[in-house]
Structure 1
């Protein structure tokens, strides 16, 4: 320091001894400015810094425009001004540094030795201003300067990795503001290029690059729902943590990033260990000394969010209280006009609303709502997070409205929810692509779900529903794994039903059908559309690229004559054409209203199911017995009876009559109920579905139409693949499975089919399916509640290699589609999780998607012994019907009716015995027996269902 003081003193004396007309005047000033700058770097003394800036300004003013050192002096002045801004936070200093940097760049020809430094310096200062103010033009200028610097930089330049990282950061910032996915993709690719250009871990900056890459992958996962991207992000940041790091600041940056990613994974998987580790890591970064108040504020905000997440899981009030205090600390560290203030205000508002649920103190909720309003006031109207904040404001207002019953709260709530769909509408009017809106897709969709349930203006609600339903494919892009798609769709359970109910209230049945078809079976539809079209493409490209190429191809096909509806929901005329074999009844249950849409060749009509409510359906599901006589009678009264009466099927038929055929398409929770078996059976009345019509099911009208497009070739396979699993590892024995296969084998042989009983192993069965006409499985099935695509049939190698729904989907049987899959197993068409009810993705529908024309399955566990008789009668019907399409449904219908009659005969015998017993017993015992009878289990014939054409 003494040497530095000496050089400063000498420089001062030299300046004092010279005059401003001295030829060396500018050099003397510049030397003093540099020496003072060196001292400022060492001492952080503001007075010396201001003197250095003043003298450097004089040096620049005294330097001729063609002087060799003018550019260096301009750039040095930029550095000094930036140091002062970092020390004092005054915007005038930052603005002046930008002006000086722009002047330096403007005065340099492109080949100037300092050209790259000038551009990068300008880019950095514009970046700092954007971070401070949040004005988009500053970010655009920063990106332009950084891009120009990168273009002018040779590939082997030592600073190229750093420049790639800088431009990647800027593009990521623009993505965060606009939601433009191409910016995020470019940012990821640039930082990857930067890492690759560093060699094998020798560069000291590599840990920070890996941290940045991990953060970008986390952003992509948040946007697309891809768990694979999130896992990769955690992996690369973990790799950065393990590398040697220079300085506590860098370590804090990396640990903060890892904590954020682990918290994101917790939000997807629910693994509390991830959240606890995230909190621990982020605490370390908060406790690490940090001179940058903005960075420390961000870390405090991250820790606050993570503690709030843990509160929601554990209900520990201490976490919520600490979270609120941290949010307040984060805000106090920043100027009032800092862009991050909006985020912290929003997060604090959420926490205060949560706190209200504990304290019941309205002041907490009012303060929370006020904080969210302040967050909205402080952010640009086109910011990508604005819809999220409106979402939160609406939640707070409805929470208050439910407590105070103030109409003003509810009206503002409706307005808040409504603004997100209206923003989407304005974007569409400007011609912006639906797949690139700047607000999170899921947030807009969730806003619409709530809006539909409360907004009394049905027409406005329908407009919002149509716009938001158009976004559904964005939740399941072809770039996602099936599990990720399923998770995304589970977040919007009920949307299609609510949207259709609103359309029906508007008397727009065409819109109701279109909305249902857009959503029902969305995952299955997208899987079917891509299986044969992009298999080769996916082998060569990453999933995201394959998805983009396929989307482009679809749009190209739709431009061709007569292909404008390619891969879209079928139109009204096509739907009516689908009823040439019988009417289709779509039963829609919504919190708004319950209705049936009846599609016939000459008309499409709706009927109001006034006796049905979503609340009652939910109660029946909770009780669990969905096939009891009481439930079957309730289904008749509320659903199937009104539907059949409206269709004119009001009289019972005899076995030899020409039976009408109806296709049922239930929505949501109604998928769990046996509509085909509804009726008053115990009294042998004529009010029963199976006494009036034959029933089949479909997941959507489109699925029915698509199935009919696949014709069984007369020259196709004639194999009947039969599998009996009497003994299954870790499952109960099925003593009648072999007997069932023996019966089916005999009947298949009588139809001229080649009976094959493969080894009961997954690969053997999969191979057999590819050359089969009939596949009959007698054994256990297992439903995965979290991911229906992981449901499976139980073979001998079930523990190591189960035959899953996903495996069935991987089969490409459409060139030679098989005729029938008969899954005589437990719950092959069951969906247990309510959040998956809109998807109907189970073992039965998987066989349909794989290419089977008809599928017979069960809604729940079935009696092993009755399966033998059910199969025998069904296959006799198929044989006698010459294996026509109708023969499958007719055969199963005959089997169900015959076994129903046998059940009734058994009930009658039990009733006679019971009457004799009641005469012998007292009143109390008699009542107990009657009660036991009323609670008898579901009849065994009820759960068998047919899906097909």
Structure 2
């Protein structure tokens, strides 16, 4: 620095001489430069002092004095003369004229200069020069340049005074006091060390009785503490503690004493936190708390020191799990129960952090997390007002408390707790903007809580909001937002780093955490909304994160696994060539991730499972020989997982799948069987894992020719099915879950037939089908009866069911599996005990038991019930009759095997669409009718005719409809899309058709038939609601509606008509409640993607549609007949056919004993004719009140009449069907 300053000042001197101007020399900058140059002078030697420096500085001071203010002019000149004294001895001709004249008078150049120090010996000249800048600094402490100038001048004064000057202590005291003020302003080690040196020198120079000794002890202690803290030297902090203790009795005022207690508390806290000396922590807490109880800057600083102490103590726990002493300290600092004082907030917040940390350790319990939330709530309450934390820090508290609640909710399934977390998250996000506030993390946390609400309660609105909020978090990052620094709330000191990229790495890690949380929301939303673009977006983000440079191997491995996981999802969800590409890449990423994952990584078992599933998927797509590696990965995943964890059962299921698909060898299948059984009976297995494991066990057992074992496994799977699609999930999500279980019913039939037990198939099918329908019936059955008999037991049972469903929906955080398993076991035991209590203490001895065969058989009293199913190698009909000796008859239907039947159904659906769509040409529609006719003939040959023969239903083509026997069709799965009542060859003069042998009705299940028959039969007659909506924008016009209404009113004069703008949802629902009969002449929309949104097209259908979901939620009494003369009211997605999610079933569930619906769009012209025949029959030609008991026969007659007119156009008449009693 000496060389640089010499050059700088020489240049300024040259400029002054050249321009005859001292302008560049008169400012504080030049004064600071010459002060720094004097401090950087060469040490004096036997050859003398640093004449070059003395000459330059002397000349600058001389020229400065020419324009200096009066009060500094003389001191500046004197200083110049004193410094130029040695120069005069060496080269008298180089001095300024006035200085040369001064020495020409006989002044001794040695009098005020020391050849030992190489400096002048008159400190007062420097004191005179420091007065003006000192005044400025005292007025403005932010002027750090002036502060540094003052420091330099005071140090020159001390050097000039030497060791023997009588005023030495005054100069040292000035420097020491100034450095004590400057140290916290600049906060650097150099200043702290200088302060320590000056205050130590001052203490060494003063007597023990000096009244100011306490002040300098404190200043030295603060400087020592600062250096010790910033260099991790606890010995210096210990010295600071000793200095503060020594100074405390010497305090001359209350303010000085408070400052000492503040500093002593801070140093003790640091020693206690980093030295794990818990007694010191306790002493520090007492001191700081007492000091903070006051008011003013010292009290505020005590709050800050207290917070720093707690933060440092918690940071120190990273190296040790021993948190007992710190927990005891914080617990002892607060009351056992509220009310709390404002200062308690810091200890309450610390307790929340400490207990959540403990909870995440192996020894943690759910009670720790519950206590953490309780302390957090108290902190939340006590910080609503006060000076302890600011609004940004309060937002941090809300965020962290909400995160605690979400973590516990993910284990316990407590929806109310996650709702509280969402509320706290909203408050945190609404906090005023602050540089210290991490808005992205707050938003990401709120999004996670909203997504958790979907997981627990099936709240799709919450999931949609989660996606929107998560996008806001990402937008904050992309707009250049920064992490902020308040989310830990406590100021945890960290050692300074020389890594120039440390800040970048921190920001990158923050950005990655927010984006990772966003991809989790995207992934969830993709599955829920069936939106593949969201999954692709998640893949893109995880690809970017995995490629980020500068991350550790462990982090890189975790990101590769996360990328592989979502890519595997994408591969499973797509079709075409890219599916295999995605699967291969997922396998490669998982392998690379495993190579970077240490053996002690807590998530290694999960990563092994991911690799195994990716390998199995790739093998299924490409047929590659990945089986052995998939088995190994799956086995390692299971064997390294805690058996009490829900993940153990999950990995056992996937081990079984890997073994099952690896080879056809008996040994591999036996091992798979064992894995499936273990998963099914694992204590912590989730219901969906139990169901899927049971189904796969059945498949393996059938492969080993053990049908009885397969049936038992399927029975167990069916028993858990209601807990997979639990009632507190949204209906839409239950439909999606049940779609994933399609094929279960066919599997039941195949296993039971193979076991020679068709009766068991009927019982199991009744439990497995129509769950959504049965749920509503159950709510009106066992549960409603329990509520009537014992409201307290009802409330207890509902509560335990709510908690179980929450546990089933929860996704435990890593490391919390054991707590979740313990809680699940306790809650399940509570449920079982309650069921046993209900069965023994109330008349409900069969509470929640599935109906037995005797109950089911009783519903065949008016005619057989025919269950038809298609399985892999054959079709099957199960005919339930009232015959006690042979209640179930099995009819094999080999021509109805799955592959052949499914192809036929797809062809039929396509032909039916063409035949009924006026947009196609006449030629195409005729061809479509022929294909439908051929389909009906095929259905007769392979299924209906063998069934009719088994029933003994002879051909009676000319018989009166009333003489024909009745049957109830109950087709399984995709077979529900077929018109079983219309199967046959319908050439004129033949009777090879169901229509000519029986009167057909349909039922979604035997229990639904029982429900319809149990409805009270109202007396004949009564009024009818007629809804007529012929014209609607975008839905076409029904030209025959007016004629249809006219025919109805001929037979049923007592009607309430709602047409055109009056046919609105609210008015229709009100009308349904008033009338036992209803007829709808309007359009309908079958939503095959989301069947529960299928609707009747009313005047306000675009803004307030009347949907299946709306109708299914209602319950009306004394309703007899609903005729849905609208398009496709019985149609549904084949994957949800077993759950009867369509308008016809919804009206039956609403309370109607009889419902007439349609399988496909019908002509409004034929609808008029059908209505005429139907109501003519039901009213005796209009001569008697309407009697709906013969609805099935009346519809049969109407359909046969239409067939007689249009035998070659089956879509005209075959669509109509009857459901119910």
For Structure 1 versus Structure 2, the TM-score category normalised by the shorter chain is 0.7 to 0.9
Q: Deviations over 1:886-944 (max 9, x none)?
A: 3211111222333334456xxxxxxxxxxxxxxxxxxxxxxxxxxxxxxx653633222
- How far, CA to CA, are the matches of 2:1121 and 2:367 in structure 1? 63
User: How far is the alpha carbon of 1:713 from its aligned partner?
Assistant: 3.4
User: How far is the alpha carbon of 1:799 from its aligned partner?
Assistant: 5.0
Q: Is the 8 A contact 1:224 1:475 kept in 2?
A: no
Identify unmatched segments of 5+ residues in structure 2.
1-187, 202-219, 235-267, 289-304, 336-342, 384-388, 485-506, 785-790, 806-830, 913-930
SS of corresponding position for 1:664: strand
Q: Is the 8 A contact 2:1157 2:1216 kept in 1?
A: yes
SS of corresponding position for 1:838: helix
Q: Is the 8 A contact 2:409 2:418 kept in 1?
A: no
What's the counterpart of residue 451 of structure 1? 697
Q: Deviations over 1:837-892 (max 9, x none)?
A: 11222121122122222111222233444333332222221112864343211111
Q: Deviations over 1:537-578 (max 9, x none)?
A: 9xxx9xx999949999x9798777433456765443433333
What's the counterpart of residue 1193 of structure 2? 890
1:859 aligns with one of 1159, 1163, 1170: 1159
What's the counterpart of residue 605 of structure 1? 888
Q: Is the 8 A contact 2:409 2:417 kept in 1?
A: no
- Structure 2 vs 1, CA of residues 371 and 31 (structure 1 numbering), >3 Å: closer, same or farther? farther
Paired positions, count: 848
Q: Deviations over 1:302-355 (max 9, x none)?
A: 333233334443754665555445445544554311111122222233333444
Q: Is the 8 A contact 2:418 2:453 kept in 1?
A: no
> Does 2:648 correspond to 1:415?
no
- How far, CA to CA, are the matches of 2:739 and 2:527 in structure 1? 14
Q: Which moved more, 1:318-327 or 1:629-638?
A: 318-327
- Structure 2 vs 1, CA of residues 771 and 342 (structure 1 numbering), >3 Å: closer, same or farther? same
- Structure 2 vs 1, CA of residues 152 and 40 (structure 1 numbering), >3 Å: closer, same or farther? same
Q: Which moved more, 1:270-279 or 1:662-671?
A: 270-279
Q: Which moved more, 1:515-524 or 1:710-719?
A: 710-719
- How far, CA to CA, are the matches of 1:722 and 1:816 in structure 2? 19
User: How far is the alpha carbon of 1:758 from its aligned partner?
Assistant: 2.8
- Structure 2 vs 1, CA of residues 167 and 469 (structure 1 numbering), >3 Å: closer, same or farther? farther
> Does 2:415 correspond to 1:189?
no
- Structure 2 vs 1, CA of residues 265 and 180 (structure 1 numbering), >3 Å: closer, same or farther? same
What's the counterpart of residue 617 of structure 1? 901
Q: Which moved more, 1:887-896 or 1:148-157?
A: 148-157
Q: What pairs up with 1:831-846 in 2 under 5 angstroms?
A: 831=1132, 833-846=1133-1146
- How far, CA to CA, are the matches of 1:635 and 1:606 in structure 2? 20
> Does 2:454 correspond to 1:221?
yes
Q: Deviations over 1:207-259 (max 9, x none)?
A: 53442232233244345544223223223334445665435244432232122
User: How far is the alpha carbon of 1:746 from its aligned partner?
Assistant: 1.8
Q: Which moved more, 1:693-702 or 1:595-604?
A: 595-604
User: How far is the alpha carbon of 1:643 from its aligned partner?
Assistant: 3.5
What's the counterpart of residue 3 of structure 1? 190
- How far, CA to CA, are the matches of 2:563 and 2:962 in structure 1? 72
> Does 2:600 correspond to 1:337?
yes
Q: Is the 8 A contact 2:1041 2:1164 kept in 1?
A: yes
Q: Is the 8 A contact 1:64 1:70 kept in 2?
A: no
SS of corresponding position for 1:595: strand
User: How far is the alpha carbon of 1:711 from its aligned partner?
Assistant: 2.8
2:631 aligns with one of 366, 369, 373: 369
SS of corresponding position for 1:649: coil
2:1202 aligns with one of 899, 915, 922: 899
Q: What pairs up with 1:425-824 in 2 under 5 angstroms?
A: 427=683, 438-456=684-702, 457-508=706-757, 511-527=760-776, 548=802, 561-565=842-846, 569-591=850-872, 594-603=875-884, 604-611=887-894, 612-624=896-908, 625=911, 628-650=932-954, 652=956, 654-655=959-960, 658-682=963-987, 684-714=989-1019, 717-721=1022-1026, 723=1028, 725=1030, 727=1031, 729-731=1033-1035, 734-749=1038-1053, 753-754=1054-1055, 756=1057, 758-759=1059-1060, 761-763=1063-1065, 764-795=1067-1098, 802-809=1105-1112, 812=1115, 814-817=1116-1119, 819-824=1120-1125
- How far, CA to CA, are the matches of 1:639 and 1:264 in structure 2? 43
Q: Is the 8 A contact 1:452 1:499 kept in 2?
A: no
What's the counterpart of residue 39 of structure 1? 231
Q: Is the 8 A contact 1:743 1:872 kept in 2?
A: yes
- How far, CA to CA, are the matches of 1:842 and 1:310 in structure 2? 31
Q: Is the 8 A contact 1:629 1:682 kept in 2?
A: no
Q: Deviations over 1:10-37 (max 9, x none)?
A: 99x99xxxxxxxxxxxxx9999998555
SS of corresponding position for 2:381: coil
- Structure 2 vs 1, CA of residues 5 and 208 (structure 1 numbering), >3 Å: closer, same or farther? same
SS of corresponding position for 2:987: coil
- Structure 2 vs 1, CA of residues 138 and 600 (structure 1 numbering), >3 Å: closer, same or farther? same
Q: Is the 8 A contact 1:669 1:837 kept in 2?
A: yes
Q: Is the 8 A contact 1:29 1:58 kept in 2?
A: no
What's the counterpart of residue 382 of structure 1? 644
User: How far is the alpha carbon of 1:835 from its aligned partner?
Assistant: 1.3
1:103 aligns with one of 298, 305, 325: 325
- How far, CA to CA, are the matches of 1:53 and 1:355 in structure 2? 58
- How far, CA to CA, are the matches of 2:903 and 2:1023 in structure 1? 46
What's the counterpart of residue 919 of structure 1? none
Q: Is the 8 A contact 1:75 1:104 kept in 2?
A: no
- How far, CA to CA, are the matches of 1:822 and 1:143 in structure 2? 57
What's the counterpart of residue 916 of structure 1? none
- How far, CA to CA, are the matches of 2:561 and 2:882 in structure 1? 60
Pair member with larger Rg: 2
Q: Is the 8 A contact 1:720 1:754 kept in 2?
A: yes
- Structure 2 vs 1, CA of residues 262 and 197 (structure 1 numbering), >3 Å: closer, same or farther? closer
User: How far is the alpha carbon of 1:664 from its aligned partner?
Assistant: 1.7
SS of corresponding position for 1:662: strand
Q: TM-score, normalised by structure 1?
A: 0.76
User: How far is the alpha carbon of 1:744 from its aligned partner?
Assistant: 2.8
User: How far is the alpha carbon of 1:671 from its aligned partner?
Assistant: 1.0
User: How far is the alpha carbon of 1:295 from its aligned partner?
Assistant: 6.0
SS of corresponding position for 1:853: strand
Q: Which moved more, 1:382-391 or 1:626-635?
A: 626-635
- Structure 2 vs 1, CA of residues 62 and 444 (structure 1 numbering), >3 Å: closer, same or farther? closer
> Cα RMSD over matched residues?
4.8
User: How far is the alpha carbon of 1:420 from its aligned partner?
Assistant: 2.1
- How far, CA to CA, are the matches of 1:126 and 1:546 in structure 2? 27
- How far, CA to CA, are the matches of 1:811 and 1:149 in structure 2? 44
- How far, CA to CA, are the matches of 1:191 and 1:781 in structure 2? 39
- How far, CA to CA, are the matches of 2:532 and 2:1160 in structure 1? 33
SS of corresponding position for 2:1149: helix
What's the counterpart of residue 122 of structure 2? none
The structure, 1 or 2, with the larger RCO (C-alpha pairs under 8 Å, 6+ apart) is 1
SS of corresponding position for 1:947: strand
> Does 2:529 correspond to 1:246?
no
Q: Is the 8 A contact 1:342 1:378 kept in 2?
A: yes
Q: Is the 8 A contact 1:677 1:942 kept in 2?
A: yes
What's the counterpart of residue 161 of structure 2? none
Q: Which moved more, 1:620-629 or 1:695-704?
A: 620-629
- Structure 2 vs 1, CA of residues 598 and 40 (structure 1 numbering), >3 Å: closer, same or farther? farther
- Structure 2 vs 1, CA of residues 602 and 414 (structure 1 numbering), >3 Å: closer, same or farther? same
> Does 2:868 correspond to 1:868?
no
Q: Is the 8 A contact 1:175 1:181 kept in 2?
A: yes
Q: TM-score, normalised by structure 2?
A: 0.61
- How far, CA to CA, are the matches of 1:527 and 1:358 in structure 2? 40
> Does 2:138 correspond to 1:138?
no
SS of corresponding position for 1:470: helix
